[in-house]
Chains A and B, each alone.
Chain A
Amino acid sequence: MYTQAMDTMGKDDGDKPRALRSTDEMALQERFDARIDAGEFIEAKDWMPEHYRKTLVRQISQHAHSEIVGMLPEGNWISRAPTLKRKAILLAKVQDEGGHGLYLYAAAETLGTSRDQMIGALHAGKAKYSSIFNYPTLTWADVGAIGWLVDGAAIMNQVPICRCSYAPYARAMIRICREESFHQRQGFESLLTMMTHGTAAQKAMVQDAVDRWWWPSVMMFGPPDDQSPNSAQSMRWGIKRVSNDELRQKFIDAAVDQAKVLGVTLPDPDLKWNETRQAHDHGPIDWAEFWRVIGGDGPCNRERLAARIAAADEGAWVREAALAHARKRRPAEQAA
């Protein structure tokens, strides 16, 4: 899902893999391919093809941006949570997302990019984040729906990345997966509480949230395999382990059973168990909406980016002052 925008790679000239230059480089390339095929891990200082490095910088940084921007729709409800328990849970979850972004920025920086470069690319609109965070959180039930569906989709996408060939990314992902499972459980439990003990109005609120978050969650897995030209290269390099469609199908199959437990309906009249495929058939996905949202024209794109730019601009004096203060104090400390 963080590879959503990867298929727009290759459209800028700087992204095209250039032809190999020398026999030395060909030998290094062969050794690299052999290591990947043997299931070995690549570490930060190992030789790697330039295109492998670029692909990872883009994917990991966009993954990091997604975590940070993802703090905004749920952060909206911290001050409006209905009970102290829900407020504490939401604070912990949003804090986790911030931490996940930091793990990922750290992993991306091992590839030679800097935090300022990555943030600059995000603010200039050159780097993307997951389409899902461009939707608004309109009710308290949206918070639960995000936990159940959005974090559920994220978990499904992230588990295979724990085996990514680039080790710093894989290690960050293992850390993230350990923390992510409570995110989904708390969302589901919140919805279950409302569906089990809630008023008719609260149950309707839950159903409305599910109606709005279902299709965007299904789109999180990215375009269909036959419209994802860069997937093959990512799979060849052990960056991507499972295809978009395969992950999407797993998600839908799991969600259908979970929806039954909740007592909500999923807004897809064509959802039906297919005995031959041993999987659920589903209705057509509106890919035009996906490309529109990822291209900048979703409900909250401008608001999300403006919030991130304002945070960076308004905090600049703090960062500069902290650095100046530390540099001023350093000679005195070293004298001791």
Chain B
Amino acid sequence: MSENRLEEAGQAKDPRQPVDPAAAEWPLWEVFVRSKAGLDHKHCGSLHATDARMAIQMARDVYTRRQEGSSVWVVRSDQIVASDPADKDMYFDPAEDKVYRHPTFYVLPKAVDHM
């Protein structure tokens, strides 16, 4: 009976197949914590959990022991899309020569220069 349940969960053990170590590890989640209302969520690290509910509970235990959390987000690490640091120049370079984005590009009379 228990073997059928394991099979349903995709965990049936076939002795001929090599065990894939990655399949046995709990998935990795990234944790973001907002310490106080008004602030952003900040990335504070990662943890392993089997599902979202466990991930949130563990995030509270691991990352907010000093009550530094009014809000916790967890995201499975494989769901995060990130820019490639190697492409840094390509993504961010064009912005560097658009000086008109900067306030100092505009010369104003002293009376209104506090803008």
Residues of A within 8 A of B (CB): 43, 45-47, 95-96, 99, 102-103, 106-107, 109-110, 114-116, 171-172, 175, 178-179, 319-320, 322-330
**Interface of A: prevailing SS:** helix
Known: A106-B46, A115-B48. A43 touches B85 (CB 8 A): yes
B101: CB under 8 A from chain A?
no
Smallest CB–CB gap between A43 and chain B, Å? 7
- A324, B51: Cβ atoms closer than 8 Å: no
Identify the 8 closest CB pairs spanning chains A and B, nearest first.
A326-B50, A324-B9, A326-B51, A106-B46, A328-B9, A106-B45, A322-B50, A327-B9
21 CB contacts below 8 A, A to B, read: A43-B85, A45-B82, A45-B84, A46-B85, A96-B65, A99-B62, A102-B47, A102-B62, A103-B62, A106-B45, A109-B28, A114-B21, A114-B25, A115-B25, A326-B51, A326-B54, A327-B9, A327-B10, A328-B8, A328-B9, A329-B51
> B-side interface residues toward A, CB under 8 Å?
5-6, 8-11, 21-22, 24-26, 28, 44-48, 50-51, 54, 61-62, 65-66, 82, 84-86
Q: Which residues of B contact A43 (CB under 8 A)?
A: 85
Partner of B47 from the list A45, A106, A172 (CB cut-off 8 Å) is A106
CB-defined contacts of A323 to chain B, threshold 8 Å: 11, 24, 26, 50
Q: Which residues of B contact A102 (CB under 8 A)?
A: 47, 62
> Are A99's CB and B65's CB within 8 A?
yes
Contact residue among A110, A172, A179, A328 (Cβ-Cβ distance under 8 Å from B66): A179
Q: Complex Cα distance A43/B48, Å? A: 21
Contacting residue for B54 out of A103, A106, A179, A322, CB 8 A: A322
Chain A residues, Cβ within 8 Å of B51: 326, 329-330
Complex CA–CA separation, A147 to B44 (angstroms): 26
* CB-based contact A116/B24 at 8 Å: yes
Q: How far is the CA of A319 from the CA of B26 in the complex (A)?
A: 8
- A327 neighbours in B (Cβ, 8 Å): 9-11
Given contacts A107-B45, A323-B26, A324-B11, 16 further A-B contacts (CB under 8 A): A43-B85, A99-B61, A110-B46, A114-B25, A115-B48, A116-B24, A171-B44, A319-B26, A320-B11, A320-B24, A323-B24, A324-B6, A325-B9, A326-B50, A327-B10, A328-B5
CA distance A106 to B43 in the complex (A): 12
Complex: how many Å from CA A45 to CA B83? 10
Distance in angstroms from B63 CB to nearest chain A CB is 8
Q: Is the CB of B85 within 8 A of A45?
A: yes
Point out the residues of chain B lying under 8 angstroms from A107, CB to CB.
45
Q: How far is the CA of A107 from the CA of B31 in the complex (A)?
A: 13
CB distance from A107 to the nearest CB of B (A): 7
Please indicate the chain B residues that have their CB under 8 angstroms from the CB of A171 in the complex. Answer: 44-45
Residue in B9, B25, B47, B54 whose CB lies within 8 Å of A116: B25
In the complex, A99→B60 CA distance in Å? 11
Cβ of A228 to closest chain B Cβ, rounded Å: 30
- Which residue of A has the minimal Cβ distance to B28? A109
The distance from the CB of B44 to the nearest CB of chain A, in whole angstroms, is 7
CB-CB under 8 A from B46, the residues of chain A are 106, 109-110
Least CB distance from A290 to B in Å reads 32
When distances are taken between beta carbons in the complex, the residues of chain A under 8 Å from B10 are 327
B62 to chain A, nearest CB (A): 5
**Contact A95–B65 (Cβ < 8 Å):** yes
In the complex, residue of chain A having the shortest beta-carbon distance to the beta carbon of B10: A327
- Across the interface, which residues of A come within 8 angstroms of B25, CB to CB? 114-116
Closest B residue, CB atoms, query A107 = B45
Within the complex, the shortest CB–CB distance from B49 to chain A, in Å, comes to 9
